[in-house]
Amino acid sequence: MSNHTLIIAEAGVNHNGSLDIAKQLIDAAVDAGVDIIKFQTFKADKLVSKDAKKAEYQKKNIGDGDDSQYQMLKKLELSDADHQELVAYCHQKGIRFWSTAFDLESIDFLHSLGLGLWKIPSGEITNYPFIKKIALLHEPVIMSTGMCNEEDIRNAMEVLLKNGLTKEQITILHCNTQYPTPMKDVNLKAMLTIKQDFGTIVGYSDHTQGIEVPIAAVALGAQVIEKHFTLDRNMVGPDHRASLEPQELKAMVKAIRNIEQALGTGIKQVSDSERANIAVARKSIVASTFIKKGETLSDDNLAVKRPGTGITPMRWEEIVGTKAIKDYQPDEQIQL
């Protein structure tokens, strides 16, 4: 992933429980040019207690007067058959299908699909049995760190490493789980601290409005970007309002691909595109007045002017004090 930012389009539950909408999301992700489209795999009965309440942003975004997180999630489940159909559809469309498990049984089911890559979402980073079960599969892991401090990350890393993973198999995503995240709370530099302290690949899972923060994250060194998207932010559901619409997702991907090229090699050198401008923009030593052959060249009869096709002004001290080898007209380039 070092030369290419892995861009994950997080469809999540923005399908609203509809297989048709899920396929439309896949089509939009393909059109945007992302690497992976990711859904969420869970059974509400295994994920949440019946009396668990919705988050404030979920209440605001859904506005149905029902405070039950269980009832909300029950409507957003995808069946095993739905998953298999979506995997086949992604294969047909040439994009990688991925999903986040939220309970132990869902880990087993996704393992049966042979996805080969695991996501530890922010809410599960303190779920020891969940993390251990994934670690024991010995496959690469991407771990989000919303609502975390460094101790939380360190504890989760310890579970992963003690159960068979190496640091090279782990990517840590900086994240804030407020939907949408206020700009003042993004703290993008924390991603650099994570890289320094844990020695893993790092990336950024974004919940801000707009596309500028993930683009900035890539410029800072993120090798993975995850971003929620939807067909329409006005749809009813917990995550639509903090998601990109298809054209915005496409713009984000284009900008990130441009940034990848713009980052370059890190070696300061003349580029092919600017090489021809050297002669145009730089200057040469020229005569400032008429100079006779044999006359001493000095600060009084020399000047510096474009184009840069003659002697570079960096050799000024070398030229001053020598004799003119010919007659020079004003503005004529001096010759050795």
* Lowest mean per-residue pLDDT among 80-84, 104-108, 262-266: 262-266
pLDDT score of 78: 94
User: pLDDT tens across 305-319, in order?
Assistant: 999 999 999 999 999
pLDDT score of 48: 87
Q: 100: which strand partners?
A: 40
| Averaged pLDDT of the chain | 95
Q: Is residue 196 scored above 90 in pLDDT?
A: yes
* Domain 6-263, CATH: 3.20.20.70
User: pLDDT tens across 134-155, in order?
Assistant: 999 999 999 999 999 999 999 9
User: pLDDT tens across 86-117, in order?
Assistant: 999 999 999 999 999 999 999 999 999 999 99
pLDDT score of 143: 98
User: pLDDT tens across 31-54, in order?
Assistant: 999 999 999 999 888 888 888 886
Residue 91 vs residue 62, higher pLDDT = 91
**Domain parsing of the chain, residue ranges:** 6-263, 272-319
**Residue 20: exposed, middle, or buried by beta-carbon count in 10 A (0-12, 13-18, 19+)?**
exposed
Name the phi and psi angles at 21, rounded to 5. Answer: -65, -40
Q: Tell me the whole-structure pTM to 2 decimals.
A: 0.89
User: pLDDT tens across 197-242, in order?
Assistant: 999 999 999 999 999 999 999 999 999 999 999 999 999 888 898 9
Q: Is residue 303 scored above 70 in pLDDT?
A: yes
* Lowest mean per-residue pLDDT among 67-76, 191-200, 321-330: 67-76
Residues of the chain with pLDDT > 70: what percent?
A: 97
Distance (Å, whole) CA 173 – CA 218? 12
pLDDT score of 1: 42
Asked whether the beta carbons of 313 and 285 are under 8 A apart, the reply is yes
Q: Spell out the residues 6+ positions from residue 277 whose beta carbon is closer than 8 angstroms to its own.
A: none
